[in-house]
Structure 1
């Protein structure tokens, strides 16, 4: 079995007991199993399959499950010794090896990887790199409660392999202060910095944005203009409110984004609120995209997909349709070969430049701090979003810096530590300067807010998060960093248009290579902080393989559920979110039906926003 960080499912005592029994009952196999959830594994790679998929990233894992449930015989391999590929969740030890491979040019589309362990003793360093309490996401993302990925997780029952936690705390940085977003009617009412006239304007816009597509007369003249112009001209909103809508609610990279795209992003937040609780966003414990990838791999394995790690494609003959693998085995491919760009091999290098060119960059800075950072979280939560709008940093940032904060209850970090994921689409030295400037502001803020929480209750409740009263705060305390991790990720996907399905399809319709029509490339992870665009990427590949996406996960999973419930009775968690997802999934297998229910709830929520 591969040396990887145990997933959430594998950490449960019931799965450990089952896995032990499973290991004892099976013969040695070169194919790593996934927590013993599959049927007994074959001892050898099949000689002939319909589809080979190289790379176990999120797109590839969903595709493998979709094809397997549709009836295709799939071989799913990965050159790494862990699942997730470019969307993996790695231990510190795995991260060290990953950085070494990137800097040797062995992993495509990543560069300038740096890993730093400041101020650690040798013992602390050894404990850190050997610990499996830490799980660092290469592509950290959040999941909106109203999204196509969550709909698929419900329909496919893959959500049963996962555990979700809420995220409702959004902060944005402006005028050298952190502001907590007004994400409810109550917060807007009690915010004394907003005049009554502006409160009415803000409520008016929120009501409009729920069904903005049906109010063409309001926004049509701004179709090719920026959202900032639209909000200023049509709703007379002030700059801080505009920034909050664009950068915190819309999670846009800049304020020049087109009005239709920004409205789509803002609506995404609003219709996700109160679907499963008083929050718009959730995330999976024990890791993000890497954990969800493993969930779909389990689903694919149950449907018959064969898995093998530490294996890559050495060559492919388009005439005989035979691929040679690094373990010296050969497999005939009847239909398609799908390759993740990070798994690309030399025999394809001359033929893929036109279709896999990574034209866009994402700079990422991940740190682990020795502090709980609970001041940033809502009650009973362990995560937050922090955004830095354009021109809000000392570095003069032209693009937003976005940060996802994950505390110890996310199970990706140890007690009293927190992981900060920062990212920007800015390029070159400016991008790194923006990240460092944002990190400096966050450090100053959390030390200041920690001091506030120690003050008498009447004082701590009388000031806003990061109010001007604290601007001159200076602390003798230093924030201890256990790890700093920087790298540049390339992508072939534009930074805009991801949330608009039709626009995304137009921009990313070409995925085949000039080498042969039987060879397809999956798209690289985008800069989008959410999972939007993932399902569209999968369906584009699925259509090229199957001819259409009409039967995409068109499976009645109720029969499978009966068998799963017998085998996994002890595996499902008791979290309220999963319980609500389960109750919604019982009668909502039709995705369109589910959309109507959620949309109507959102409209009612908006209608209640009268002042």
Structure 2
């Protein structure tokens, strides 16, 4: 970088993940001098979205031995200052990453009338038509993040599609979940009596905060026990517990009611389900915040991280050491991939994640759907979230479906 590059800032942000990008945009928006660094050559960190070629490169990087980047030079320290080495991992903290093919390398054409036979060669040839997420993100249409995108005018940098159906695994098959009032009365999967019971329950969950005396009875109760007390059928309990509240049998009652309320309040704003999916991948969201930061004067430098924190005798931040330079700052924001080991909790839950490219939908229909499936827990595994996206979201070429799976890992 040239000599004109500033050496002093109000805020330095290291890493372009979601949290870091939001904070960088907020600081820049109120007039702070912001420097935003990322050692990667792409935005988003573990929130990034890749085309197929980029994803393969990321997988290859993750399979290499994880080497910590050493400081390129000793930081210049004043009297009383000390340096704390930052945890600069390359690649980032993703483990057990692998790629597996279940189609041949190449296939011969079998005629126009036959179903397209996919091959590795064909998928790689269309690599630009993929937008595959490392951290897929569904947004409640009345959730805090959507409200932030609107109020900050960052929504102008993003596009979304409404999830068109919510599905659950029930009695050995995939079943659409009635979300709106119209869905409840139109579905054939529940009886007329069940429909009335469901509408009464949903109304109670929507208004539960206005009756604190009634809430006290359920403070020490699970949401499952609450549903049973309402004498709901097993059919309705499954829909509400797993597909609407997205809870487990251990979820506290108040939390389950809050989740149900959040689901219901987001209905109807942009479609018949509560959820929005970002076009071109979830990596567009942190990038949108980075754009806002840059509009208000934030400086960006990819392929440049930070190797050490420089702190004073009172343990306050003085500067960071980056690329043989000391950059002064009053505040520092850094992602987990950069934070020194001493800053991190001893244990933290992770997420198991999978991406599957298949040539047909998990639930066939006359048109392409953007599908959310909450797979309920069983004796051997916790709940699994599955989001199926297709060509209408620019996630993959026409004729393929991109299945995003994730589940939280216990401590």
Please give the range of the TM-score, normalised by the shorter of the 2 chains.
0.7 to 0.9
Matched, 1:121 2:101: no
2:376 maps to which of 386, 389, 395: 389
Q: 1:113 offset after TM fit, Å?
A: 0.9
Calculate the TM-score normalised by the size of structure 2. 0.84
The number of residues matched between the two structures is 371
Match of 2:147 in 1: 151
Q: Distance in 1 between matches of 2:135 and 2:124?
A: 20
Q: 1:220 to 1:398 in 2, by over 3 A?
A: farther
Match of 1:89 in 2: 49
Q: Secondary structure in 2 aligned to 1:224?
A: coil
Tell whether the 8 Å contact from 1:45 to 1:329 is kept in structure 2 after alignment: no
Q: 1:388 to 1:128 in 2, by over 3 A?
A: same
Tell whether the 8 Å contact from 1:382 to 1:408 is kept in structure 2 after alignment: no
Matched, 1:420 2:403: yes
Match of 1:323 in 2: 320
Give runs of aligned pairs for residues 290-369 of structure 1, distance below 5 A: 290-319=283-312, 321-326=318-323, 328-333=324-329, 335-344=330-339, 348-349=340-341, 351-352=342-343, 355-369=344-358
Runs (4 or more) in structure 1 with deviation over 6 Å come to none
Tell whether the 8 Å contact from 1:374 to 1:382 is kept in structure 2 after alignment: no
Give runs of aligned pairs for residues 594-609 of structure 1, distance below 5 A: none
Q: Distance in 2 between matches of 1:324 and 1:81?
A: 19
Match of 1:47 in 2: 7
Q: 1:227 to 1:46 in 2, by over 3 A?
A: same
Q: 1:277 to 1:176 in 2, by over 3 A?
A: closer
Q: 1:341 offset after TM fit, Å?
A: 0.6
Q: Secondary structure in 2 aligned to 1:110?
A: coil
2:94 maps to which of 97, 100, 110: 110
CA deviation digits over 1:386-405, x for unaligned, max 9? 121122xxxx4442111001
Q: 1:128 to 1:78 in 2, by over 3 A?
A: farther
Q: 1:112 to 1:207 in 2, by over 3 A?
A: same
Q: What are structure 1's unaligned runs of at least 5 residues?
A: 1-29, 31-41, 428-493, 495-611
Q: 1:101 offset after TM fit, Å?
A: 3.1
Q: Distance in 2 between matches of 1:93 and 1:323?
A: 34
Give runs of aligned pairs for residues 109-508 of structure 1, distance below 5 A: 109-121=93-105, 124-125=119-120, 128-129=123-124, 131-233=127-229, 235-252=230-247, 254-288=248-282, 290-319=283-312, 321-326=318-323, 328-333=324-329, 335-344=330-339, 348-349=340-341, 351-352=342-343, 355-371=344-360, 375=364, 382-391=369-378, 396-426=379-409
Q: 1:157 to 1:357 in 2, by over 3 A?
A: farther
CA deviation digits over 1:308-337, x for unaligned, max 9? 1111101222138232213x333111x112
Q: Secondary structure in 2 aligned to 1:115?
A: coil
Q: Secondary structure in 1 aligned to 2:251?
A: coil
Q: Distance in 1 between matches of 2:4 and 2:131?
A: 31
Q: 1:149 offset after TM fit, Å?
A: 0.8
Q: Secondary structure in 2 aligned to 1:222?
A: coil
Q: 1:282 to 1:376 in 2, by over 3 A?
A: farther
CA deviation digits over 1:511-548, x for unaligned, max 9? xxxxxxxxxxxxxxxxxxxxxxxxxxxxxxxxxxxxxx
The structure showing larger relative contact order (alpha-carbon pairs under 8 Å, at least 6 residues apart) is 2
Q: 1:296 to 1:270 in 2, by over 3 A?
A: same
Q: Secondary structure in 2 aligned to 1:101?
A: helix
Q: Distance in 1 between matches of 2:399 and 2:177?
A: 25
Q: Distance in 1 between matches of 2:152 and 2:18?
A: 15
Match of 1:541 in 2: none
Q: 1:420 offset after TM fit, Å?
A: 0.3
Q: 1:57 offset after TM fit, Å?
A: 0.7
Q: Secondary structure in 2 aligned to 1:56?
A: coil
2:31 maps to which of 49, 71, 74: 71
Worse-matched range after superposition: 68-77 or 96-105 = 96-105
Q: 1:260 to 1:303 in 2, by over 3 A?
A: same
Q: 1:305 offset after TM fit, Å?
A: 0.5
Tell whether the 8 Å contact from 1:108 to 1:341 is kept in structure 2 after alignment: no
Q: Distance in 2 between matches of 1:125 and 1:44?
A: 48
Q: Distance in 2 between matches of 1:54 and 1:232?
A: 49
Tell whether the 8 Å contact from 1:107 to 1:342 is kept in structure 2 after alignment: no
Q: 1:284 offset after TM fit, Å?
A: 1.4
Q: Secondary structure in 1 aligned to 2:304?
A: coil
Higher helix proportion = 1
Q: Distance in 2 between matches of 1:371 and 1:154?
A: 35
Provide the alpha-carbon RMSD of the alignment. Answer: 2.3
Q: 1:376 to 1:301 in 2, by over 3 A?
A: farther
Q: 1:220 offset after TM fit, Å?
A: 2.0
Q: Distance in 2 between matches of 1:85 and 1:300?
A: 17
